[in-house]
């Protein structure tokens, strides 16, 4: 069966704070580990009141320390916001603390608005354009240091932390293929170039020391509940955040679900958000199982990474359980 992983943004819910978000993240990671998910990744975002995962490496340490076996990593670290040496030291530290469990997914997007980009990058104006060179520099820090090497990552040298390329376009797919790295596509919010990107990645892949064959992980929104109606209602929390973003404002804390989104959005907004979130499986176990099977067949994904913030943390735990049950049904495993 295709492995399933979880992408978490440590959502800060209305009426709660970051500490509450981090407790919920810890609890969900533990549940994911107990249900045999492959990985638990966290994503870097800045200046967003509804997302608590800005200090991504710190939160990865929190999750890795609260679990024992599940792989933990970044989905991703936005490399242009950082010095490659600092990222190498951070993830070298994590890999030293939690050997064999740390992944480093790298993205080129800023994960924020233009004003915050300037605050993050200061004089590194051309940082995004340097992304391929920065990835190579970062990889070099993870290789065994040469004698007399002037700058090395301590810890980091010789740890060979697995590096992934993240993206939502054919440009990121081409880079991952050329560098021989695993590729994660953000179809959970930007599905428009999914087919072309996966085809290009697989066609142009060049084997590397890290990876002999192409390996593609694909994003899917999942909210599973005891009925389709309940899951669709829970999903309105995410739809409300996308509606706020579409209207030109940064989404605030994750709002509670509503009974009728048609009272909140126009017909055009509904269509646009539906297109952005079309890579979704929302419903009962049966509905999610069938959609997951179709999605894997459509993409030939080597792995699926799911995200599905819900206002009630208990609903997120329940969704985790039900998705695991759907996965096991597809694999023919006993319940």
Structural domain count of the chain: 1
Q: Tell me what the mean pLDDT of segment 237-254 comes to.
A: 92
Burial class (CB in 10 A: 0-12, 13-18, 19+), 88: buried
List the CATH number of the domain containing 157: 3.20.20.30
Q: Give 128's pLDDT tier (boundaries 50, 70, 90).
A: low
Q: What is the pLDDT of residues 72-121, one digit of tens each?
A: 999 999 999 899 999 999 999 999 999 999 999 999 976 556 666 666 66
Burial class (CB within 10 angstroms; exposed 0-12, middle 13-18, buried 19+) of 24: buried
Of these ranges, 41-50, 80-89, 195-204, the one predicted with the greatest mean pLDDT is 195-204
* Helix, strand or coil, per DSSP, at residue 286: helix
Condensed to tens digits (0 to 9), the pLDDT of residues 136-168 reads 999 999 999 888 888 899 999 999 999 999 999
Report residue 77: phi and psi, to 5°: -80, 130
> pTM to 2 decimals?
0.94
Mean pLDDT, residues 320-328: 97
182 and 216 in contact (C-beta within 8 Å)?
A: yes
Range of the domain at 179: 4-331
Which among 307, 71, 290 has a CA at the least distance from the CA of 182?
A: 71
Average pLDDT value for the chain = 94
């Amino acid at each position: 069966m295709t492995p399933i992983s979880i992408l978490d943004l440590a959502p800060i819910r209305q009426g709660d704070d970051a500490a509450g978000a981090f407790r919920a993240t810890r609890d969900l990671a533990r549940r994911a580990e107990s249900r045999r998910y492959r990985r638990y990744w966290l994503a870097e975002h800045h200046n967003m009141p509804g997302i608590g995962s800005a200090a991504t490496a710190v939160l990865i340490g929190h999750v890795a320390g609260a679990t024992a076996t599940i792989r933990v990593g970044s989905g991703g670290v936005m490399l242009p916001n950082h010095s490659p040496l600092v990222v190498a030291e951070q993830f070298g530290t994590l890999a030293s603390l939690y050997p064999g469990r740390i992944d480093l997914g790298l993205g080129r997007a800023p994960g924020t608005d233009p004003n915050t980009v300037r605050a993050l990058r200061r004089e590194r104006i051309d940082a995004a354009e340097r992304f391929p060179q920065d990835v190579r520099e970062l990889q070099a820090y993870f290789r065994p240091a040469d004698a007399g090497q002037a700058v090395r990552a301590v810890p980091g040298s010789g740890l060979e932390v697995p590096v992934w390329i993240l993206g939502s376009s054919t440009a990121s797919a081409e880079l991952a293929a050329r560098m021989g790295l695993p590729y994660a596509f953000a179809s959970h919010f930007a599905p428009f170039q999914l087919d072309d990107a996966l085809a290009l990645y697989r066609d142009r892949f060049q084997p590397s020391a890290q990876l002999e064959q192409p390996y593609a992980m694909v994003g899917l929104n999942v909210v599973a509940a005891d009925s389709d109606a309940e899951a669709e209602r829970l999903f309105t929390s995410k739809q409300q955040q996308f509606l706020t973003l579409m209207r030109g404002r940064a989404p605030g804390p994750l709002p509670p679900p509503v009974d009728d989104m048609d009272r909140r959005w126009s017909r055009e907004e509904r269509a646009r958000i539906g297109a952005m979130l079309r890579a979704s499986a929302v419903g009962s176990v049966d509905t999610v199982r069938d959609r997951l099977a179709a999605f894997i067949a459509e993409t030939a994904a080597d792995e699926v990474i799911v995200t599905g913030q819900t206002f009630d943390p208990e609903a997120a735990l329940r969704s985790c359980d039900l998705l695991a049950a759907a996965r096991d049904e597809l694999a023919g495993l006993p319940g």
